[in-house]
Chains A and B, each alone.
Chain A
Amino acid sequence: MGFQQVEHELHKRRLSRNVGVGLALAGFIVIVFGLTVVKVTRGDYEPVNARIED
């Protein structure tokens, strides 16, 4: 005999919160990664000495 888990409104709200926070964090990672790629490829963080040597 097993217990049947009842799907409660509360569980739905918690799920929506967890999924929302998860997606927000995933979005944040994508944005930080994207900004890093853009800044590095455009040479925003190139050391000043490197430019002089060139």
Chain B
Amino acid sequence: MSDASINTQAQEHEAGFGDYFALLKPRVMSLVVFTAMVGLLAAPGSVHPFVAFASILFIAVGGGASGALNMWYDSDIDQVMSRTQSRPIPSGKVSREEAFAIGMTLSVFAVVMLGLAANMLAAGLLAFTIFFYVVIYTMWLKRWTPQNIVIGGAAGAFPPMIGWAVVTGGISVESVLMFTLIFMWTPPHFWALCLFMKSDYKDAGVPMLHVTHGHRATRVHILVYTLLLAPIAIGMAFTGVGGPIYLSVALLLNALFLYGAVAIWRRDEETAIADNYKRERSFFALSLLYLFLHFGAILTEATLAPYGLGGW
């Protein structure tokens, strides 16, 4: 082997800092940061701003670590699916062993540091979230059942609960409802994406609902979950984190979301193909806004509360 060939090989496979950062799924991390921050700010009581900042950072690192472990375990299917082929492991920039080492190290680091910065309950919840996402969802459910996204969605729903636990050191109706809101929102959000994305889950052997039961069943599931989601989202208005602003936002968004879900349910595949899944795409875009505005409204209520304007 000549020097030139050694150099070429190293050039192709050496990762930059951005490649390691991509292992942490930054887009998912942004959702984790936002919802954890809302949970923390809406909780009764207060923590020192620096403790709050550090706690959010450690929750984000824990979420990122679980993303790295997910990429480590799923590298075989990531290689098959076109959507994930450019990820650091399938593209050959980061090795599986490196991803595993980074994921494990950051997981332990984030949990220990959150325990030291905040409290043991918050750290325990973070540890459970990482375990749930990596072991329950990635290793077990994802390749086993078409309901994978339903139960796996719980992993993404924990951050506001952790943020709440950072301040209160406990779990309450409000934090459980914030968890349930994200938990019930995940299936319709993700299944809407599945309807219009040309995915290759079938080639990868992942039993997604639209692959195993078809688009008709997926449309029905979207409607059912949206119907179940509405009372939870609106009901939260009457708890400690709700108020008139949240109620107005929830009523409007759930009416729009239900309208979209019914429209999706009424459509057949031919009509959807004819307009390139216009309704499904707009429902997916609305779902992003739905979650953002619900948590935004909780944040608004919490921010206005000290001035006597938020809450009931």
For the residues of A in contact with B, the DSSP-based class is helix
Q: Choose one: B11, B48, B57; the contact of A9 (CB below 8 Å).
A: B11
Q: How far is the CB of B172 from chain A (nearest CB, A)?
A: 24
A35 adjacent to B50 (CB under 8 Å): yes
Complex Cα distance A17/B20, Å?
Answer: 9
B17 adjacent to A34 (CB under 8 Å): no
Complex Cα distance A22/B17, Å?
Answer: 11
Complex Cα distance A17/B57, Å?
Answer: 21
Q: Interface size for chain B: under 10, 10 to 19, 20 to 34, or 35 or more residues?
A: 10 to 19
A-B contact count (CB 8 A): 37
Name the A residues within 8 Å of B117 (CB-CB). Answer: 35
Complex Cα distance A16/B15, Å?
Answer: 9
A10 adjacent to B18 (CB under 8 Å): no
Per-residue 0/1 for A6-22: is the Cβ within 8 Å of any B Cβ (1 yes, 0 no)? Answer: 00111011101101110
Instruction: Say yes or no for B54: interface residue by CB 8 A criterion.
Output: yes
Name the A residues within 8 Å of B76 (CB-CB). Answer: none
Instruction: Say yes or no for B116: interface residue by CB 8 A criterion.
Output: yes
Q: Which of B1-46 contact A (CB under 8 A)?
A: 7, 10-11, 14-18, 20-21
Interface size on A, residues (CB 8 A): 16
Instruction: Say yes or no for A29: interface residue by CB 8 A criterion.
Output: no
For the residues of B in contact with A, the DSSP-based class is helix
Complex Cα distance A38/B10, Å?
Answer: 45
Complex Cα distance A5/B18, Å?
Answer: 25
Complex Cα distance A9/B15, Å?
Answer: 11
Complex Cα distance A43/B252, Å?
Answer: 47
Interface residues of A (CB under 8 A from B): 8-10, 12-14, 16-17, 19-21, 31, 34-35, 38, 42
A-B residue pairs, 9 tightest by C-beta: A20-B17, A13-B16, A16-B16, A16-B17, A17-B17, A10-B11, A38-B48, A34-B50, A38-B50
Interface residues of B (CB under 8 A from A): 7, 10-11, 14-18, 20-21, 48, 50-51, 54, 57, 113, 116-117
